[in-house]
């Protein structure tokens, strides 16, 4: 008997908090079944997009994000550095491509870049793009003109996370408003760049507030192209050091609900992977995660090394998405084809 075709995925931007909370409250087997089914409708479940993240300017950030070791006001052992040279960034990008990455993200610990910084970052973007890699940057808040300049340089993605639900935001950050984040995302969308936007879980928020974060992401005018889900990495010296750790199954639930709400987005396992067991990561892939950061370090926090990742991929029968170029456009594809918020200023 011939299998009937799947109904096309419907993208919604009108989720209520109650609807999202109801998804979180499903039994674990039912939630994973639904998420895995939606994932399979929109992606090859054996393909994982691989990105590499480089801190091109570390530390010294003036903001007070409670999770961030790069905030100048916290004593975390992270020293402020100057912006890297284009040549040094290009060498790191070449290494990332050789190791199998298809996207290269450059992060700078700025509240927002100064206009004089934009030409320097633009030069990095052009050189990395010329290698055949997708380009991504996370530099803090952007003006409309700055977004235009980065787009003109060839930037594919801009990472700017919401971090948490609107009703929990003021518990975590006081130096920038939630609306500031939405404004930067609007500037990025307006110039035609893709958005990379997610948040952090395990900061002491409730399940309802985790639902609120995902509800806000899904109700943006366009779903983020990539949705990084970060699990808090507790760094001594930050206000959130000592926070009760999030239950691993609750983290998997968050991945699954993100997949259901944003079915065509890349859902990325971001910060916190270093402390995740292979079994927990496997559950996340089953729940719809299909992107990871790859390499030994995410800006200022650890990450599983490439050998461990490739060994896990082999055990699970997964493979990296391949880089292709079509009509001058570089992208990763399943057949053709942010940065973690709490390790950077974005």
Burial class of residue 302 (count of CB atoms within 10 Å of its CB; 0-12, 13-18, 19+): middle
Q: Which of 311, 307, 294, 201 is nearest to 256 (CA)?
A: 201
Query: H-helix or E-strand containing 167?
Result: none
User: Measured between alpha carbons, how far is 153 from 292 in angstroms, rounded to an integer?
Assistant: 25
Give tens-digit pLDDT for 172-185: 999 999 999 999 99
**pLDDT > 70? residue 339:** no
**SS3 state at 93:** helix
The residue that leads in pLDDT, 321 or 278, is 278
Beta bridge partners of 201: 231
**pLDDT > 80? residue 342:** no
Share of the chain above pLDDT 90, in %: 68
Q: Which of 254, 282, 280, 278 is nearest to 267 (CA)?
A: 254
Q: Is the dihedral of CA 144, 150, 152, 158 positive or negative?
A: negative
Task: Note the pLDDT of residue 153.
Answer: 96
Give tens-digit pLDDT for 23-55: 999 999 999 999 999 999 999 999 999 888 899
Which residue reads 């971001």 in tokens?
270
List residues with catalytic annotation. Answer: 61, 65, 68, 105, 136, 196, 268
Q: Which residues fall within 8 angstroms of residue 161, CB to CB, at 6 or more apart?
A: 181, 197, 198, 199, 200, 228, 230, 338, 339, 341, 346
Residue 306: pLDDT band with limits 50, 70, 90: confident
Give tens-digit pLDDT for 241-283: 999 999 999 999 999 999 999 999 999 998 888 889 999 999 9
Task: Note the pLDDT of residue 2.
Answer: 40
Q: Are 175 and 63 in contact (CB under 8 A)?
A: yes
Task: Note the pLDDT of residue 8.
Answer: 57
Task: Note the pLDDT of residue 295.
Answer: 57
Task: Note the pLDDT of residue 300.
Answer: 42
Beta strand pairing status for 134-138 and 157-159?
parallel
Query: H-helix or E-strand containing 201?
Result: strand 199-201
pTM: 0.87
**pLDDT > 60? residue 126:** yes
- The DSSP code for 297 is E
Phi first, then psi, for residue 142 (nearest 5°) are -120, 145
User: Measured between alpha carbons, how far is 133 from 142 in angstroms, rounded to an integer?
Assistant: 23
| H-only helix segments in 60-143 | 86-98, 118-130
Q: Which two tokens stand for residue 128?
A: 């990395």
The residue that leads in pLDDT, 114 or 333, is 114
**pLDDT > 80? residue 169:** yes
Which residue reads 């892939």 in tokens?
285
Task: Note the pLDDT of residue 19.
Answer: 98
User: Measured between alpha carbons, how far is 53 from 106 in angstroms, rounded to an integer?
Assistant: 6
Neighbours of 114 (CB within 10 A): 8
Q: What are the percentages of helix, strand and coil residues in the chain, rounded to 5?
A: 40, 20, 45
User: Measured between alpha carbons, how far is 324 from 168 in angstroms, rounded to an integer?
Assistant: 40
Provide the terminal-to-terminal Cα distance of the chain, rounded to the nearest Å: 52
Which residue reads 């939606």 in tokens?
38
pLDDT, averaged across the chain: 87
């Amino acid at each position: 008997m011939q299998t009937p075709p799947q109904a096309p995925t419907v993208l919604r931007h009108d989720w209520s908090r109650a609807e999202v909370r109801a998804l979180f409250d499903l039994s674990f087997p039912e939630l994973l079944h639904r998420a895995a089914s939606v994932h399979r409708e929109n992606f090859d479940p054996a393909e994982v997009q691989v990105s590499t993240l480089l801190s091109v300017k570390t530390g010294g950030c003036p903001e007070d994000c409670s999770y961030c070791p790069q905030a100048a006001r916290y004593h975390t052992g992270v020293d402020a550095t100057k912006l890297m040279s284009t040549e040094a960034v290009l060498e790191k990008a070449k290494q990332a491509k050789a190791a199998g990455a298809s996207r290269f993200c450059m992060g700078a610990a700025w509240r927002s870049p100064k206009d004089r910084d934009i030409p320097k970052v633009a030069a990095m973007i052009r050189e990395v793009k010329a290698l055949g890699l997708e380009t991504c940057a996370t530099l803090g808040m952007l003006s409309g003109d700055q977004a235009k300049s980065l787009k003109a340089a060839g930037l594919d993605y801009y990472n700017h996370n919401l971090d948490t639900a609107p009703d929990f935001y003021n518990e975590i950050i006081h130096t920038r408003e939630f609306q500031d984040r939405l404004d930067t995302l609007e500037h990025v969308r307006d110039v035609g760049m893709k958005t990379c936007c997610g948040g952090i879980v395990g900061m002491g928020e409730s399940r309802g507030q985790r639902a609120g974060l995902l509800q806000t992401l899904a109700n943006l005018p366009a779903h983020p192209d990539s949705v990084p889900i970060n699990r808090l990495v507790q760094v001594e010296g930050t206000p959130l050091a000592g926070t009760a750790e999030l239950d691993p199954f609750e983290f998997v639930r968050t991945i699954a609900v993100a997949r259901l709400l944003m079915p065509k987005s890349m859902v990325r396992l971001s910060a916190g992977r270093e402390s995740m067991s292979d079994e927990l990561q496997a559950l996340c892939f089953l729940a719809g995660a299909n992107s990871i950061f790859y390499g030994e370090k995410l800006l200022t926090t650890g990450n599983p090394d490439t050998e461990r990742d490739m060994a896990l991929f082999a055990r699970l029968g997964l493979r990296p998405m391949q880089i292709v170029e079509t009509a001058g456009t570089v992208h990763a594809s399943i057949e053709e084809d942010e940065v973690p918020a709490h390790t950077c200023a974005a």
